[in-house]
Structure 1
Amino acid sequence: MIVVIGKSGQLAQELHLLDSDLICLGRNDINLLSREDVFHTLNKLSPDAVINASAYTAVDKAETEEEQAFLINAEAVKFLAEYCEVKRCHFVHVSTDYVFKGDKGSPYISSDIREPRGVYGASKAQGELYLSSIINTSACIIRTSWVYSSHGNNFVKTMLNLMTQKDELGIISDQIGTPTSAKVLAQACLAAAKNRVCGIQHWTDLGIASWYDFALAIQEIAFEKGALNKNIPVRPINTEQYPTPAVRPKYSVLDKTKNSDELNVENAHWRVHLSTVIDELIEKK
Protein backbone atom coordinates (compact mmCIF):
# COMPACT_ATOMS: atom_id res chain seq x y z
CA MET A 1 0.00 0.00 0.00
CA ILE A 2 1.15 3.54 -0.80
CA VAL A 3 0.12 6.53 1.32
CA VAL A 4 0.16 10.04 -0.13
CA ILE A 5 0.52 12.99 2.23
CA GLY A 6 -1.13 16.24 1.09
CA LYS A 7 -4.57 15.28 -0.18
CA SER A 8 -5.74 18.70 -1.40
CA GLY A 9 -2.72 19.65 -3.54
CA GLN A 10 -2.58 19.37 -7.30
CA LEU A 11 0.10 16.66 -7.21
CA ALA A 12 -1.89 14.49 -4.79
CA GLN A 13 -5.00 14.89 -6.93
CA GLU A 14 -3.08 13.71 -9.99
CA LEU A 15 -1.66 10.78 -8.00
CA HIS A 16 -5.14 9.70 -6.97
CA LEU A 17 -6.38 9.94 -10.58
CA LEU A 18 -3.42 7.80 -11.60
CA ASP A 19 -4.09 5.12 -8.99
CA SER A 20 -7.36 5.13 -7.04
CA ASP A 21 -5.96 2.53 -4.62
CA LEU A 22 -3.61 5.12 -3.11
CA ILE A 23 -4.53 6.31 0.38
CA CYS A 24 -4.42 10.13 0.42
CA LEU A 25 -4.21 11.92 3.77
CA GLY A 26 -4.98 15.59 4.35
CA ARG A 27 -4.69 17.90 7.32
CA ASN A 28 -7.88 16.45 8.85
CA ASP A 29 -6.45 12.94 8.61
CA ILE A 30 -2.92 13.39 9.97
CA ASN A 31 -1.21 16.04 12.08
CA LEU A 32 2.18 16.42 10.43
CA LEU A 33 3.38 18.70 13.22
CA SER A 34 3.04 15.93 15.81
CA ARG A 35 5.53 13.07 15.70
CA GLU A 36 3.18 11.03 17.87
CA ASP A 37 0.25 11.50 15.50
CA VAL A 38 2.38 10.78 12.41
CA PHE A 39 3.44 7.44 13.93
CA HIS A 40 -0.04 6.64 15.24
CA THR A 41 -1.81 7.39 11.95
CA LEU A 42 0.68 5.62 9.70
CA ASN A 43 0.94 2.62 12.03
CA LYS A 44 -2.77 1.99 11.51
CA LEU A 45 -2.22 1.90 7.74
CA SER A 46 1.17 0.15 7.69
CA PRO A 47 2.19 1.44 4.23
CA ASP A 48 4.91 -0.02 2.05
CA ALA A 49 5.74 3.49 0.78
CA VAL A 50 4.91 7.09 1.61
CA ILE A 51 4.84 9.91 -0.95
CA ASN A 52 5.07 13.33 0.66
CA ALA A 53 3.26 15.75 -1.66
CA SER A 54 2.49 18.26 1.09
CA ALA A 55 4.37 21.54 1.44
CA TYR A 56 4.16 25.16 2.49
CA THR A 57 4.43 26.76 -0.96
CA ALA A 58 3.53 30.42 -0.36
CA VAL A 59 6.97 31.67 -1.40
CA ASP A 60 6.44 35.36 -0.58
CA LYS A 61 4.36 34.83 2.55
CA ALA A 62 7.10 32.54 3.90
CA GLU A 63 9.31 35.61 4.37
CA THR A 64 7.03 36.69 7.23
CA GLU A 65 5.84 33.20 8.24
CA GLU A 66 9.23 31.57 8.66
CA GLU A 67 8.25 29.38 11.59
CA GLN A 68 5.23 27.95 9.77
CA ALA A 69 7.26 27.28 6.61
CA PHE A 70 9.94 25.39 8.55
CA LEU A 71 7.37 23.41 10.54
CA ILE A 72 5.70 22.06 7.39
CA ASN A 73 8.67 21.87 5.02
CA ALA A 74 11.28 20.62 7.49
CA GLU A 75 9.93 19.38 10.84
CA ALA A 76 7.06 17.42 9.26
CA VAL A 77 9.52 15.83 6.83
CA LYS A 78 11.68 14.81 9.78
CA PHE A 79 8.75 13.05 11.48
CA LEU A 80 7.76 11.25 8.27
CA ALA A 81 11.36 10.23 7.65
CA GLU A 82 11.72 8.90 11.21
CA TYR A 83 8.61 6.77 10.75
CA CYS A 84 9.81 5.42 7.41
CA GLU A 85 13.26 4.59 8.80
CA VAL A 86 11.85 2.77 11.83
CA LYS A 87 9.30 0.82 9.78
CA ARG A 88 11.59 0.23 6.76
CA CYS A 89 9.00 1.97 4.61
CA HIS A 90 10.14 3.60 1.35
CA PHE A 91 9.88 7.41 1.43
CA VAL A 92 9.42 9.62 -1.64
CA HIS A 93 9.69 13.32 -0.85
CA VAL A 94 8.97 16.13 -3.31
CA SER A 95 11.34 19.10 -3.17
CA THR A 96 12.10 22.16 -5.28
CA ASP A 97 14.51 24.08 -7.50
CA TYR A 98 14.43 26.83 -4.84
CA VAL A 99 17.06 24.93 -2.83
CA PHE A 100 19.54 26.41 -5.32
CA LYS A 101 20.79 29.99 -5.55
CA GLY A 102 20.06 30.26 -9.26
CA ASP A 103 23.29 31.83 -10.49
CA LYS A 104 25.06 28.76 -11.90
CA GLY A 105 24.10 29.46 -15.52
CA SER A 106 23.78 25.78 -16.46
CA PRO A 107 21.34 23.05 -15.36
CA TYR A 108 21.68 21.99 -11.73
CA ILE A 109 22.67 18.38 -11.08
CA SER A 110 21.49 16.50 -8.00
CA SER A 111 24.85 16.80 -6.22
CA ASP A 112 25.14 20.59 -6.57
CA ILE A 113 25.41 22.52 -3.31
CA ARG A 114 22.17 23.74 -1.76
CA GLU A 115 22.23 27.55 -1.55
CA PRO A 116 18.66 28.75 -1.01
CA ARG A 117 18.04 32.49 -1.20
CA GLY A 118 14.77 32.81 0.72
CA VAL A 119 12.84 31.28 3.59
CA TYR A 120 10.82 28.93 1.38
CA GLY A 121 13.96 27.51 -0.26
CA ALA A 122 15.76 27.31 3.08
CA SER A 123 12.87 25.39 4.66
CA LYS A 124 12.78 22.91 1.76
CA ALA A 125 16.56 22.50 1.91
CA GLN A 126 16.34 21.76 5.65
CA GLY A 127 13.69 19.13 4.94
CA GLU A 128 16.06 17.47 2.46
CA LEU A 129 18.88 17.53 5.03
CA TYR A 130 16.69 15.99 7.74
CA LEU A 131 15.62 13.21 5.37
CA SER A 132 19.16 12.46 4.24
CA SER A 133 20.45 12.31 7.80
CA ILE A 134 17.65 10.04 9.07
CA ILE A 135 17.10 7.50 6.29
CA ASN A 136 20.14 5.49 5.27
CA THR A 137 18.79 3.44 2.39
CA SER A 138 15.18 3.56 1.21
CA ALA A 139 14.36 7.18 0.31
CA CYS A 140 14.04 9.32 -2.79
CA ILE A 141 14.00 13.11 -3.08
CA ILE A 142 12.38 14.37 -6.29
CA ARG A 143 13.15 18.01 -7.00
CA THR A 144 10.81 19.78 -9.40
CA SER A 145 9.76 23.28 -10.50
CA TRP A 146 6.90 25.43 -11.81
CA VAL A 147 4.23 22.77 -11.25
CA TYR A 148 0.89 23.25 -13.02
CA SER A 149 -2.25 21.23 -13.74
CA SER A 150 -5.97 21.63 -14.33
CA HIS A 151 -6.47 21.51 -10.53
CA GLY A 152 -5.96 24.11 -7.81
CA ASN A 153 -4.08 27.37 -8.19
CA ASN A 154 -1.11 27.66 -10.53
CA PHE A 155 0.49 29.91 -13.14
CA VAL A 156 -1.46 28.48 -16.09
CA LYS A 157 -4.86 29.07 -14.52
CA THR A 158 -3.82 32.51 -13.26
CA MET A 159 -2.66 33.56 -16.72
CA LEU A 160 -5.84 32.33 -18.39
CA ASN A 161 -7.94 34.30 -15.91
CA LEU A 162 -5.86 37.47 -16.32
CA MET A 163 -5.93 37.18 -20.10
CA THR A 164 -9.71 37.35 -20.03
CA GLN A 165 -9.73 40.32 -17.63
CA LYS A 166 -6.78 42.52 -18.67
CA ASP A 167 -5.97 44.51 -21.78
CA GLU A 168 -2.26 43.67 -21.50
CA LEU A 169 0.18 41.88 -19.22
CA GLY A 170 3.82 42.32 -18.21
CA ILE A 171 5.52 39.01 -17.42
CA ILE A 172 9.03 38.44 -16.06
CA SER A 173 11.46 37.36 -18.75
CA ASP A 174 14.74 37.05 -16.83
CA GLN A 175 13.87 34.12 -14.55
CA ILE A 176 14.60 30.87 -16.36
CA GLY A 177 13.40 27.39 -15.42
CA THR A 178 11.15 24.62 -16.65
CA PRO A 179 7.39 24.12 -16.25
CA THR A 180 6.24 20.77 -14.87
CA SER A 181 2.97 18.96 -15.51
CA ALA A 182 1.68 17.63 -12.19
CA LYS A 183 0.24 14.66 -14.07
CA VAL A 184 3.64 13.48 -15.32
CA LEU A 185 5.33 14.40 -12.03
CA ALA A 186 2.79 12.12 -10.36
CA GLN A 187 3.85 9.30 -12.68
CA ALA A 188 7.48 9.85 -11.66
CA CYS A 189 6.58 9.86 -7.95
CA LEU A 190 4.57 6.67 -8.28
CA ALA A 191 7.40 4.97 -10.20
CA ALA A 192 9.83 6.02 -7.46
CA ALA A 193 7.55 4.57 -4.79
CA LYS A 194 6.79 1.27 -6.55
CA ASN A 195 10.37 0.67 -7.74
CA ARG A 196 11.93 1.92 -4.49
CA VAL A 197 14.10 4.40 -6.37
CA CYS A 198 16.67 6.02 -4.08
CA GLY A 199 18.76 9.17 -4.02
CA ILE A 200 18.06 12.66 -5.36
CA GLN A 201 16.23 12.76 -8.68
CA HIS A 202 15.25 15.78 -10.78
CA TRP A 203 11.93 15.82 -12.61
CA THR A 204 10.42 18.54 -14.79
CA ASP A 205 8.98 18.67 -18.30
CA LEU A 206 11.62 18.84 -21.03
CA GLY A 207 12.95 22.14 -22.38
CA ILE A 208 13.49 25.50 -20.71
CA ALA A 209 11.49 28.73 -20.54
CA SER A 210 11.16 32.09 -18.88
CA TRP A 211 7.87 33.01 -17.25
CA TYR A 212 7.35 35.27 -20.27
CA ASP A 213 7.86 32.34 -22.67
CA PHE A 214 5.44 30.28 -20.61
CA ALA A 215 2.78 33.01 -20.64
CA LEU A 216 3.08 33.50 -24.42
CA ALA A 217 2.63 29.76 -24.97
CA ILE A 218 -0.38 29.65 -22.65
CA GLN A 219 -2.10 32.39 -24.64
CA GLU A 220 -1.11 30.95 -28.02
CA ILE A 221 -2.29 27.39 -27.28
CA ALA A 222 -5.42 28.48 -25.40
CA PHE A 223 -6.46 30.80 -28.25
CA GLU A 224 -5.88 28.06 -30.85
CA LYS A 225 -8.08 25.68 -28.83
CA GLY A 226 -10.82 28.25 -28.18
CA ALA A 227 -10.17 28.58 -24.44
CA LEU A 228 -9.51 32.32 -25.05
CA ASN A 229 -11.51 34.43 -27.48
CA LYS A 230 -8.90 37.18 -27.84
CA ASN A 231 -5.15 37.78 -27.76
CA ILE A 232 -3.78 40.60 -25.63
CA PRO A 233 -0.30 42.16 -25.67
CA VAL A 234 2.11 40.30 -23.37
CA ARG A 235 5.31 42.26 -22.82
CA PRO A 236 8.56 41.13 -21.18
CA ILE A 237 9.65 42.82 -17.96
CA ASN A 238 12.65 42.19 -15.71
CA THR A 239 12.65 41.14 -12.08
CA GLU A 240 13.45 44.65 -10.87
CA GLN A 241 10.22 45.90 -12.43
CA TYR A 242 8.17 43.43 -10.38
CA PRO A 243 9.68 43.34 -6.87
CA THR A 244 8.50 40.60 -4.51
CA PRO A 245 9.23 39.89 -0.82
CA ALA A 246 11.12 36.69 -1.72
CA VAL A 247 14.12 36.56 -4.04
CA ARG A 248 13.60 34.08 -6.89
CA PRO A 249 16.41 32.10 -8.53
CA LYS A 250 17.30 33.64 -11.91
CA TYR A 251 18.25 30.29 -13.49
CA SER A 252 16.99 27.07 -11.92
CA VAL A 253 16.82 24.54 -14.74
CA LEU A 254 17.20 21.03 -13.30
CA ASP A 255 19.40 18.47 -15.06
CA LYS A 256 17.52 15.19 -15.48
CA THR A 257 20.16 13.18 -17.39
CA LYS A 258 21.52 11.51 -14.26
CA ASN A 259 18.14 10.20 -13.07
CA SER A 260 17.80 6.54 -12.16
CA ASP A 261 16.85 4.21 -15.01
CA GLU A 262 14.13 2.89 -12.71
CA LEU A 263 12.37 6.25 -12.93
CA ASN A 264 11.17 5.05 -16.31
CA VAL A 265 8.45 7.57 -17.22
CA GLU A 266 7.96 8.90 -20.73
CA ASN A 267 8.42 12.67 -20.80
CA ALA A 268 7.88 15.42 -23.38
CA HIS A 269 8.54 19.11 -23.99
CA TRP A 270 6.64 21.45 -21.69
CA ARG A 271 4.55 22.81 -24.58
CA VAL A 272 3.19 19.30 -25.21
CA HIS A 273 2.14 18.84 -21.59
CA LEU A 274 0.75 22.39 -21.49
CA SER A 275 -1.49 21.59 -24.46
CA THR A 276 -2.84 18.55 -22.60
CA VAL A 277 -3.61 20.58 -19.48
CA ILE A 278 -5.43 23.25 -21.48
CA ASP A 279 -7.52 20.47 -23.08
CA GLU A 280 -8.43 19.30 -19.57
CA LEU A 281 -9.42 22.82 -18.53
CA ILE A 282 -11.67 23.11 -21.58
CA GLU A 283 -13.33 19.79 -20.72
CA LYS A 284 -14.04 21.03 -17.18
CA LYS A 285 -15.97 24.09 -18.39
Structure 2
Amino acid sequence: MSATRPTRWPRAFELARPVASRLSFLTYATPITPRWRALQAGLTRSGEDMLVYNSDLPGQSDTMAADESGRAILDRIRAGRVDGLIVAEAALQGAESELRTLGCPCIYIGDLPKPLVDSVSTDQSENTRLVARHLIERGHTRIAHVTGPHHLRMSKPRKDAFEGALVDAGVPIIDDLRFEGSFLAESGRRAADWLVDQMPKHQPTAIFVAGSQMARGMMGRLYDLGISVPGDIAVATYDMHNTLEDLRPRLTSVGTKPSQLAERALEMLRERLSGKETGPPRREVIPGELRVGQTT
Protein backbone atom coordinates (compact mmCIF):
# COMPACT_ATOMS: atom_id res chain seq x y z
CA MET A 1 0.00 0.00 0.00
CA SER A 2 1.60 3.24 -1.09
CA ALA A 3 0.56 6.61 0.22
CA THR A 4 1.93 9.62 -1.66
CA ARG A 5 1.58 13.37 -1.34
CA PRO A 6 3.70 16.36 -2.38
CA THR A 7 4.31 17.45 1.23
CA ARG A 8 6.43 15.94 4.00
CA TRP A 9 3.94 13.18 4.86
CA PRO A 10 5.39 9.68 4.35
CA ARG A 11 4.31 7.15 1.80
CA ALA A 12 3.40 3.60 2.77
CA PHE A 13 3.02 0.42 0.76
CA GLU A 14 1.03 -2.74 1.30
CA LEU A 15 1.68 -6.06 -0.36
CA ALA A 16 -1.62 -7.87 -0.05
CA ARG A 17 -2.06 -11.59 0.53
CA PRO A 18 -2.61 -13.58 -2.65
CA VAL A 19 -6.14 -13.47 -4.04
CA ALA A 20 -7.74 -15.18 -7.00
CA SER A 21 -6.25 -13.89 -10.24
CA ARG A 22 -9.70 -13.59 -11.74
CA LEU A 23 -10.65 -10.91 -9.22
CA SER A 24 -9.54 -7.30 -9.15
CA PHE A 25 -7.47 -6.58 -6.07
CA LEU A 26 -9.75 -3.73 -5.06
CA THR A 27 -13.07 -5.53 -5.53
CA TYR A 28 -15.29 -6.30 -2.57
CA ALA A 29 -14.90 -10.00 -3.39
CA THR A 30 -11.29 -10.11 -2.22
CA PRO A 31 -10.46 -11.34 1.29
CA ILE A 32 -8.28 -8.31 2.04
CA THR A 33 -11.03 -5.68 1.52
CA PRO A 34 -11.65 -4.84 5.23
CA ARG A 35 -7.91 -4.42 5.81
CA TRP A 36 -7.49 -2.28 2.71
CA ARG A 37 -10.45 -0.07 3.59
CA ALA A 38 -9.13 0.51 7.12
CA LEU A 39 -5.74 1.56 5.76
CA GLN A 40 -7.38 3.78 3.17
CA ALA A 41 -9.52 5.49 5.80
CA GLY A 42 -6.53 6.17 8.04
CA LEU A 43 -4.50 7.67 5.21
CA THR A 44 -7.38 9.70 3.81
CA ARG A 45 -7.84 11.44 7.16
CA SER A 46 -4.29 12.77 6.87
CA GLY A 47 -4.63 13.75 3.21
CA GLU A 48 -2.57 10.89 1.78
CA ASP A 49 -3.19 8.73 -1.27
CA MET A 50 -2.71 4.98 -1.56
CA LEU A 51 -1.23 2.56 -4.08
CA VAL A 52 -1.80 -1.17 -3.57
CA TYR A 53 0.37 -3.99 -4.92
CA ASN A 54 -1.04 -7.50 -5.32
CA SER A 55 1.44 -10.37 -5.23
CA ASP A 56 -0.92 -12.86 -6.88
CA LEU A 57 -0.07 -14.37 -10.27
CA PRO A 58 -2.37 -16.19 -12.71
CA GLY A 59 -2.21 -19.88 -11.85
CA GLN A 60 -0.26 -19.28 -8.65
CA SER A 61 -0.71 -22.32 -6.42
CA ASP A 62 2.52 -22.94 -4.57
CA THR A 63 5.10 -21.33 -2.35
CA MET A 64 7.62 -20.82 -5.16
CA ALA A 65 5.17 -18.76 -7.21
CA ALA A 66 4.28 -16.61 -4.20
CA ASP A 67 7.98 -16.16 -3.46
CA GLU A 68 8.80 -15.07 -7.02
CA SER A 69 5.91 -12.63 -7.35
CA GLY A 70 6.67 -11.09 -3.95
CA ARG A 71 10.34 -10.62 -4.83
CA ALA A 72 9.39 -8.98 -8.12
CA ILE A 73 7.28 -6.43 -6.28
CA LEU A 74 10.09 -5.73 -3.82
CA ASP A 75 12.40 -5.06 -6.76
CA ARG A 76 9.93 -2.49 -8.10
CA ILE A 77 9.69 -0.89 -4.67
CA ARG A 78 13.48 -0.66 -4.41
CA ALA A 79 13.57 1.12 -7.76
CA GLY A 80 11.34 3.90 -6.45
CA ARG A 81 11.34 6.22 -3.46
CA VAL A 82 9.55 4.45 -0.62
CA ASP A 83 9.18 5.77 2.89
CA GLY A 84 7.30 2.93 4.54
CA LEU A 85 5.92 -0.54 3.94
CA ILE A 86 3.01 -2.58 5.30
CA VAL A 87 2.99 -6.25 4.30
CA ALA A 88 0.00 -8.56 4.67
CA GLU A 89 0.69 -12.17 5.59
CA ALA A 90 1.37 -14.59 2.70
CA ALA A 91 2.29 -11.82 0.25
CA LEU A 92 6.00 -12.49 0.76
CA GLN A 93 6.06 -16.06 2.00
CA GLY A 94 9.63 -17.27 1.61
CA ALA A 95 11.05 -13.80 0.96
CA GLU A 96 10.48 -12.10 4.33
CA SER A 97 14.21 -11.72 5.01
CA GLU A 98 14.41 -9.18 2.18
CA LEU A 99 12.28 -6.73 4.15
CA ARG A 100 15.41 -5.66 6.01
CA THR A 101 17.09 -4.66 2.75
CA LEU A 102 14.53 -2.08 1.65
CA GLY A 103 15.95 0.77 3.71
CA CYS A 104 12.58 1.90 5.07
CA PRO A 105 10.37 1.04 8.06
CA CYS A 106 8.20 -2.02 7.57
CA ILE A 107 5.24 -3.45 9.47
CA TYR A 108 4.16 -7.05 8.86
CA ILE A 109 0.54 -8.05 9.47
CA GLY A 110 0.68 -11.70 10.51
CA ASP A 111 3.05 -14.18 12.11
CA LEU A 112 6.69 -13.69 11.15
CA PRO A 113 8.94 -16.75 11.61
CA LYS A 114 11.70 -14.44 12.92
CA PRO A 115 11.58 -10.92 14.43
CA LEU A 116 12.90 -9.23 11.29
CA VAL A 117 10.64 -6.17 11.44
CA ASP A 118 7.70 -4.94 13.51
CA SER A 119 4.66 -7.19 13.30
CA VAL A 120 1.07 -7.23 14.50
CA SER A 121 -1.00 -10.39 14.51
CA THR A 122 -3.59 -12.43 16.31
CA ASP A 123 -3.09 -15.79 18.01
CA GLN A 124 -4.41 -18.13 15.33
CA SER A 125 -3.85 -21.23 17.44
CA GLU A 126 -5.71 -19.95 20.49
CA ASN A 127 -8.50 -18.55 18.34
CA THR A 128 -8.95 -21.91 16.65
CA ARG A 129 -9.01 -23.73 19.99
CA LEU A 130 -11.85 -21.43 21.07
CA VAL A 131 -14.07 -22.49 18.19
CA ALA A 132 -13.11 -26.15 18.54
CA ARG A 133 -14.08 -26.14 22.22
CA HIS A 134 -17.33 -24.40 21.32
CA LEU A 135 -18.31 -27.17 18.89
CA ILE A 136 -17.33 -29.86 21.39
CA GLU A 137 -19.34 -28.19 24.16
CA ARG A 138 -22.35 -28.23 21.84
CA GLY A 139 -22.07 -32.01 21.83
CA HIS A 140 -20.46 -32.55 18.42
CA THR A 141 -18.15 -35.55 18.22
CA ARG A 142 -18.03 -36.14 14.45
CA ILE A 143 -16.63 -32.89 13.11
CA ALA A 144 -15.53 -32.29 9.53
CA HIS A 145 -12.74 -29.83 8.77
CA VAL A 146 -11.91 -27.67 5.75
CA THR A 147 -8.27 -26.57 6.02
CA GLY A 148 -6.35 -23.90 4.16
CA PRO A 149 -3.85 -24.85 1.44
CA HIS A 150 -0.81 -26.65 2.81
CA HIS A 151 1.66 -24.36 0.99
CA LEU A 152 0.53 -21.27 2.93
CA ARG A 153 2.11 -20.98 6.37
CA MET A 154 -1.04 -19.61 8.01
CA SER A 155 -2.87 -22.88 7.34
CA LYS A 156 -0.76 -24.98 9.70
CA PRO A 157 -1.47 -23.32 13.08
CA ARG A 158 -5.21 -23.43 12.42
CA LYS A 159 -5.15 -27.07 11.37
CA ASP A 160 -2.87 -28.20 14.21
CA ALA A 161 -4.76 -26.27 16.88
CA PHE A 162 -8.15 -27.53 15.75
CA GLU A 163 -7.12 -31.17 15.60
CA GLY A 164 -5.15 -30.81 18.84
CA ALA A 165 -8.25 -29.54 20.62
CA LEU A 166 -10.22 -32.54 19.35
CA VAL A 167 -7.56 -34.94 20.61
CA ASP A 168 -7.45 -33.21 24.01
CA ALA A 169 -11.22 -33.68 24.33
CA GLY A 170 -11.13 -37.31 23.22
CA VAL A 171 -12.93 -36.53 19.96
CA PRO A 172 -11.71 -38.72 17.08
CA ILE A 173 -10.00 -37.19 14.04
CA ILE A 174 -11.43 -38.84 10.93
CA ASP A 175 -9.12 -38.43 7.95
CA ASP A 176 -12.03 -38.80 5.52
CA LEU A 177 -13.60 -35.72 7.12
CA ARG A 178 -10.68 -33.42 6.24
CA PHE A 179 -10.77 -31.38 3.01
CA GLU A 180 -7.99 -29.07 1.82
CA GLY A 181 -9.33 -25.79 0.48
CA SER A 182 -7.69 -22.73 -1.06
CA PHE A 183 -9.08 -19.96 1.21
CA LEU A 184 -11.27 -18.88 -1.74
CA ALA A 185 -15.04 -19.20 -2.12
CA GLU A 186 -14.86 -21.63 -5.02
CA SER A 187 -13.11 -24.22 -2.84
CA GLY A 188 -15.85 -23.74 -0.24
CA ARG A 189 -18.42 -24.71 -2.83
CA ARG A 190 -16.40 -27.79 -3.72
CA ALA A 191 -16.06 -28.61 -0.03
CA ALA A 192 -19.85 -28.52 0.31
CA ASP A 193 -20.21 -31.13 -2.43
CA TRP A 194 -17.52 -33.21 -0.71
CA LEU A 195 -19.28 -32.87 2.65
CA VAL A 196 -22.59 -34.10 1.25
CA ASP A 197 -20.79 -37.13 -0.19
CA GLN A 198 -19.36 -37.93 3.27
CA MET A 199 -22.65 -37.64 5.14
CA PRO A 200 -24.06 -41.13 4.49
CA LYS A 201 -20.89 -42.91 5.65
CA HIS A 202 -19.49 -40.70 8.42
CA GLN A 203 -22.56 -38.69 9.50
CA PRO A 204 -20.73 -35.50 10.58
CA THR A 205 -22.83 -33.14 12.68
CA ALA A 206 -20.56 -30.08 12.42
CA ILE A 207 -17.84 -28.62 10.22
CA PHE A 208 -15.09 -26.09 10.90
CA VAL A 209 -13.99 -24.02 7.90
CA ALA A 210 -10.56 -22.41 8.23
CA GLY A 211 -11.39 -19.26 6.24
CA SER A 212 -14.43 -17.04 5.85
CA GLN A 213 -14.40 -16.86 2.05
CA MET A 214 -14.54 -20.66 1.91
CA ALA A 215 -17.36 -20.58 4.46
CA ARG A 216 -19.35 -18.15 2.31
CA GLY A 217 -18.99 -20.42 -0.70
CA MET A 218 -19.95 -23.45 1.35
CA MET A 219 -23.05 -21.84 2.85
CA GLY A 220 -24.40 -20.87 -0.56
CA ARG A 221 -23.78 -24.31 -2.00
CA LEU A 222 -25.33 -26.10 1.00
CA TYR A 223 -28.44 -23.98 0.54
CA ASP A 224 -28.59 -24.95 -3.13
CA LEU A 225 -28.24 -28.62 -2.17
CA GLY A 226 -31.09 -28.39 0.33
CA ILE A 227 -28.86 -28.92 3.38
CA SER A 228 -30.14 -27.09 6.46
CA VAL A 229 -27.69 -25.12 8.63
CA PRO A 230 -27.62 -25.82 11.53
CA GLY A 231 -30.41 -28.39 11.26
CA ASP A 232 -28.47 -30.91 9.17
CA ILE A 233 -24.95 -29.63 9.86
CA ALA A 234 -23.49 -26.95 12.15
CA VAL A 235 -20.96 -24.59 10.55
CA ALA A 236 -18.25 -22.45 12.16
CA THR A 237 -15.48 -20.48 10.50
CA TYR A 238 -12.21 -18.72 11.14
CA ASP A 239 -12.04 -14.96 10.32
CA MET A 240 -14.25 -12.00 11.09
CA HIS A 241 -14.45 -10.29 7.73
CA ASN A 242 -17.32 -7.86 7.31
CA THR A 243 -18.42 -9.84 4.25
CA LEU A 244 -20.04 -12.24 6.74
CA GLU A 245 -22.33 -9.64 8.28
CA ASP A 246 -25.08 -9.98 5.68
CA LEU A 247 -24.99 -13.78 5.57
CA ARG A 248 -28.02 -15.62 6.99
CA PRO A 249 -28.12 -17.54 9.17
CA ARG A 250 -25.35 -15.62 10.94
CA LEU A 251 -22.14 -17.62 10.95
CA THR A 252 -20.37 -18.55 14.15
CA SER A 253 -16.87 -17.16 13.68
CA VAL A 254 -13.61 -16.65 15.54
CA GLY A 255 -10.64 -14.34 15.04
CA THR A 256 -9.77 -10.66 14.98
CA LYS A 257 -11.27 -8.02 12.70
CA PRO A 258 -8.87 -7.30 9.81
CA SER A 259 -9.51 -3.59 10.32
CA GLN A 260 -8.09 -3.80 13.86
CA LEU A 261 -4.86 -5.30 12.56
CA ALA A 262 -4.61 -2.75 9.75
CA GLU A 263 -5.23 0.24 12.00
CA ARG A 264 -2.58 -0.87 14.47
CA ALA A 265 -0.11 -1.57 11.65
CA LEU A 266 -0.57 1.97 10.37
CA GLU A 267 -0.02 3.36 13.87
CA MET A 268 3.16 1.31 14.26
CA LEU A 269 4.45 2.51 10.89
CA ARG A 270 3.88 6.14 11.80
CA GLU A 271 5.67 5.61 15.12
CA ARG A 272 8.72 4.42 13.18
CA LEU A 273 8.55 7.19 10.59
CA SER A 274 8.21 9.92 13.22
CA GLY A 275 11.11 8.58 15.28
CA LYS A 276 8.86 7.91 18.27
CA GLU A 277 9.90 4.24 18.13
CA THR A 278 13.54 3.40 17.41
CA GLY A 279 14.09 0.13 19.27
CA PRO A 280 14.33 -3.48 18.06
CA PRO A 281 11.48 -5.13 16.12
CA ARG A 282 8.24 -5.27 18.08
CA ARG A 283 5.69 -8.07 18.02
CA GLU A 284 2.14 -7.25 19.09
CA VAL A 285 -0.70 -9.74 19.38
CA ILE A 286 -4.32 -8.56 19.35
CA PRO A 287 -6.60 -11.02 21.17
CA GLY A 288 -9.26 -12.76 19.13
CA GLU A 289 -12.82 -13.53 20.11
CA LEU A 290 -15.51 -16.11 19.44
CA ARG A 291 -18.79 -14.81 18.08
CA VAL A 292 -21.53 -17.39 18.37
CA GLY A 293 -24.00 -16.97 15.55
CA GLN A 294 -26.98 -18.98 14.35
CA THR A 295 -25.08 -21.73 12.55
CA THR A 296 -23.97 -23.74 15.59
| Structure (1 or 2) with the larger CA radius of gyration | 2
Query: Is TM-score (shorter-chain normalized) higher than 0.5?
Result: no
TM-score, scaled to structure 1 = 0.40
